[in-house]
Amino acid sequence: MLNVILCDDDPKVIKLLKKFIEGYSMMEELDDINIELATGDPLKVLELFRANVEQADGQMKQVARSLKHRLLYLDVDLGELGKERHLDGISLAREIRKFDVGADISFLTHNRMTISDVLNYKIAPLAFLSKPFIHEDQGRLQAEVIDVLKHAYERMSKSTVDKKVIGFKTGKRTIYVNLVDVYYLQGNKSKNEEGNKSDMMRSGLTTLYEAGGTQYLKQSLAYYERQIPELVRLGKSHLINPSNVKETKMTGRSVTVKMRDDSEIQVTRKAHDDFEALINME
């Protein structure tokens, strides 16, 4: 199911978007496209994503093993209610990324200059759509809305399994990352082993490298090895996601494993052979 979320301070634009999406779904006989929420209140949108990972009292709870496939059409300027909530479309998208890095996000804007502003953040929008003034040029907007819808639907259709979500404790909070976006985890040496480690590194037992950036975790590498069987040990200090290995290079007695984020992990040939044996087991 592709769940569509619309957020715009203009009810007439919301009505137009619903008309385009529902019309296309009916014409193509797609009964797995659902308009989950249509609102001018950005806080209502954010609450949908917060519900995945935390309770009303702010305490984290165990999330489901999968997140919904979601496509968002967000107005960049959310008017007075957006100002009241301290959330415009860009800041709303940044908050959403904390809870779901895989949601498809498209922006509606009158001002094309907004694009350069958005690119400064790690939001990774699917598209920028030009809003019509007083509903002029509705045909163009309809074509853009449907193009984004088709792209998101195709991405969802190619997904053979739901997104598996892993919880990682970073101290006082827990972050949730799609397994497909995890590159690898690296065990940090203790302060006694390496006296010049940064304060940030000393604050965590393990470092997580994932699509959204680098995170410093409180549990040990051995803990995550037990909790996440999909990750495979590579040498003494790394757990890696085999699906995110880009290539390997043999050099003398060592092997360099290159991940999809272009980071490189160097290990002994024996460690690499042990890794290969594990991932090739049926």
Domain 2-158: CATH superfamily, name plus number: Response regulator (3.40.50.2300)
270-274, long-range: CB < 8 A, 24+ apart: 271/234, 271/235, 271/236, 272/234, 272/248, 274/233
Class of domain 165-279: mainly beta
The tokens describing 227, both together, are 């909790």
Sequential DSSP letters for 50-104: HTTTB-TTS-B-PPPSBPPEEEEEEES--HHHHHHHT--HHHHHHHHHHH-TT-E
pLDDT the model gives residue 64: 37
Q: 7-44 pLDDT, tens per residue?
A: 999 999 999 999 999 999 999 988 889 999 999 999 99
Sheet (strand 245-251) strand order: 245-251, 254-259, 264-268
Counting as low any pLDDT under 70, the low residues of the chain are 52-67, 111-122, 132-136, 158-163, 189-204, 278-282
Q: Half-sphere exposure (CA, 13 Å, Cβ side) for 141? A: 23
CA distances from 153 to 49, 71, 118, 122 (A): 20, 9, 24, 23
pLDDT the model gives residue 167: 82
The model's pTM is: 0.55
Q: Give the Cα separation of 10 and 108 in Å (integer).
A: 11
CA angle 262, 240, 157 (to 5 degrees): 80
CB 141 within 8 A of CB 16: yes
Domain limits, the chain? 2-158, 165-279
